């Protein structure tokens, strides 16, 4: 989505038919405060927009669907972050919250880091001072900086003044200026996550008749299960996943991790569906991981190049360039 003031743009892939992707709607609307009312001064401070907005989005989800659901999303976000760390390299400067983009096109290093690491940092501060004190801080922060653009150091200065306890308990320098995640990064517990991990244990023990165990799962539990599986599976396992969830969904959030598994496993049965997906979906969030997986598997590398050549003119220039970089590696 794109949070144009009073005219949010949303990608059609959010209309999954099951109302499962409202988080993005909440996200774009939350940008009215964090992003549009208080804005990052430079792209090096992008986390101020996105970390805060993911935090706001999840506070809205917590009110709508409860803490269990919200923590499930946070864990999924953490998986995205782990993937970004892997792509950049654990010690890469692009895993810092405050980046140095001298001579670098911000689009080139766009990732989940400002979103999910920013979110974790804000939760760390919230947990250090308690929610009540933190909510007071949010209000004063927005009021103080409304209609202005601020840098990370302005934020840190304000935080240190308003919440001196947080500045003592949370290693601000470690969070903001160093790569990777501190060991003390917030963890999230939820029965919905336990449920997914328990079924994973049964899956690892060889059980495949899991229909009853997952019948009540929501979209995000299915996504978490799929994204935590290895990307190379035997054909029979791909078929089991296909039968369990994929054959009857149009939800791109579920299709993407499954297609990544199918690509990594050379599961040819769904190659026509992958072609269909890459010919109709232009969202970088989906294009990049799927092309990356196709490219990493020597058996599908040629297919990745073929599909890209055929459909690249349908993609937005930013997404096209990102995929081109992946295929050149
Ligand atoms: Zn955003």
Across residues 101-126, what is the average pLDDT? 94
Å from CA of 111 to ligand 1 middle: 12
Q: What is the pLDDT of residue 3?
A: 87
- Tokens 């989940």 found at: 112
> Closest by alpha carbon to 292, among 325, 251, 258, 248?
325
Ordered domains of the chain (ranges, CATH): 12-177 (1.10.390.10), 220-328 (1.25.40.320)
8 A C-beta contact, residue 43 and residue 192:
no
Å from CA of 119 to ligand 1 middle: 12
DSSP per residue over 108-145, as a string?
GG--SIIIIIHHHHHHHHHHHH-HHHHHHHHHHHHHHH
Cα dihedral 294, 318, 50, 156, rounded to 10, equals 110
pLDDT reading at 270 higher than 90: yes
Q: What is the pLDDT of residue 20?
A: 81
Q: What is the pLDDT of residue 45?
A: 97
d(CA 285, CA 203): 28
Q: Per-residue confidence at 202, pLDDT binned at 50, 70, 90?
A: very high
Q: What is the pLDDT of residue 5?
A: 85
d(CA 48, CA 34): 8
Ligand 1 ion: residues within 5 Å (CB): 50, 53
Å from CA of 266 to ligand 1 middle: 34
> At 39, which helix (H) or strand (E)?
strand 38-40
Residue 160, both tokens: 């240190």
CA 177 to chain centre: 21
Å from CA of 6 to ligand 1 middle: 15
By annotation, the residues acting in catalysis are 28, 115
Å from CA of 5 to ligand 1 middle: 13
- How confident is the prediction for the chain on average, in pLDDT? 94
pLDDT reading at 7 higher than 90: no
- The residues facing 9 across adjacent strands are 2
Q: What is the pLDDT of residue 31?
A: 95
- Provide ipTM, 2 decimals: 0.99
Å from CA of 47 to ligand 1 middle: 9
pLDDT reading at 113 higher than 90: yes
- The percent of residues in the chain predicted with pLDDT above 90, rounded, is 84
pLDDT reading at 117 higher than 90: yes
Å from CA of 208 to ligand 1 middle: 38
Q: What is the pLDDT of residue 82?
A: 95
Q: Per-residue confidence at 312, pLDDT binned at 50, 70, 90?
A: very high
Å from CA of 282 to ligand 1 middle: 18
* 3 state DSSP class of 150: strand
Residue 267, both tokens: 């599961």
Q: What is the pLDDT of residue 307?
A: 97
Å from CA of 242 to ligand 1 middle: 32
* Residues near 315 by beta carbon (within 8 Å), at least 6 away in sequence: 282, 287, 323
Q: What is the pLDDT of residues 272-309, one digit of tens each?
A: 999 999 999 988 889 999 999 999 999 999 999 999 99
* Residues near 48 by beta carbon (within 8 Å), at least 6 away in sequence: 34, 38, 40, 118, 150, 152, 155
Å from CA of 26 to ligand 1 middle: 10
d(CA 93, CA 310): 34
Q: What is the pLDDT of residues 118-168, one digit of tens each?
A: 999 999 999 999 999 999 999 999 999 999 999 999 999 999 999 999 989
Å from CA of 35 to ligand 1 middle: 8
Q: What is the pLDDT of residues 216-246, one digit of tens each?
A: 999 999 999 999 999 999 999 999 999 999 8
Across residues 48-66, what is the average pLDDT? 97
Q: Give the burial class of 42: count Cβ atoms within 10 A of its Cβ; 0-12 exposed, 13-18 middle, 19 or more buried.
A: middle
Instruction: Compute the residue count for the chain.
Output: 329
- The percent of residues in the chain predicted with pLDDT above 70, rounded, is 100
Q: What is the pLDDT of residue 13?
A: 83
The total of other beta-carbon atoms located within 10 Å of residue 301's CB is 13
């Amino acid at each position: 989505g794109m949070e144009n003031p009073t005219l949010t743009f949303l990608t059609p892939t959010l209309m999954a038919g099951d109302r499962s992707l409202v988080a993005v709607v909440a996200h774009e609307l939350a940008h009215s405060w964090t992003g549009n009312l208080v804005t990052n001064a430079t792209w090096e401070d992008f986390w101020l927009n996105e970390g805060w907005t993911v935090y706001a989005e999840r506070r809205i989800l917590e009110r709508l669907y409860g803490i269990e659901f919200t923590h499930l999303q946070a864990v999924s976000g953490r998986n995205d972050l782990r993937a970004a760390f892997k792509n950049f390299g654990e010690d890469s400067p692009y895993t810092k919250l405050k980046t140095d983009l001298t001579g670098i096109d911000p689009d080139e290093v766009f990732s989940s880091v400002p979103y999910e690491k920013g979110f974790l940092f804000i939760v760390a501060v919230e947990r250090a001072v308690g929610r009540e004190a933190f909510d007071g801080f949010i209000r004063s922060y927005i009021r103080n900086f409304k209609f202005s653009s601020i840098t990370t150091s302005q934020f840190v200065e304000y935080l240190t003044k308003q919440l001196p306890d947080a500045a003592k308990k949370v290693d601000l320098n470690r969070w903001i200026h160093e790569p990777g995640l501190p060991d003390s990064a917030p963890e999230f517990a939820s029965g919905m996550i336990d449920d997914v991990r328990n079924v994973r244990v049964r899956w690892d023990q060889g059980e495949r008749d899991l229909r009853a165990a997952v019948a009540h799962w929501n979209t995000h539990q299915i996504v978490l299960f799929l994204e935590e599986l290895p990307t190379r599976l035997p054909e029979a396992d791909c078929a089991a996943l296909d039968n369990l969830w994929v054959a009857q969904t149009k939800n791109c959030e579920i299709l993407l991790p499954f297609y990544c598994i199918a690509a990594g496993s050379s599961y040819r049965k769904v190659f026509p569906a992958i072609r269909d997906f890459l010919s109709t979906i232009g969202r970088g969030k989906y294009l990049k991981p799927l092309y990356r997986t196709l490219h990493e598997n020597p058996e599908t590398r040629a297919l990745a190049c073929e599909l890209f050549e055929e459909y690249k003119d349908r993609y937005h220039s930013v997404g096209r360039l990102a995929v081109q970089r992946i295929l050149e590696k």
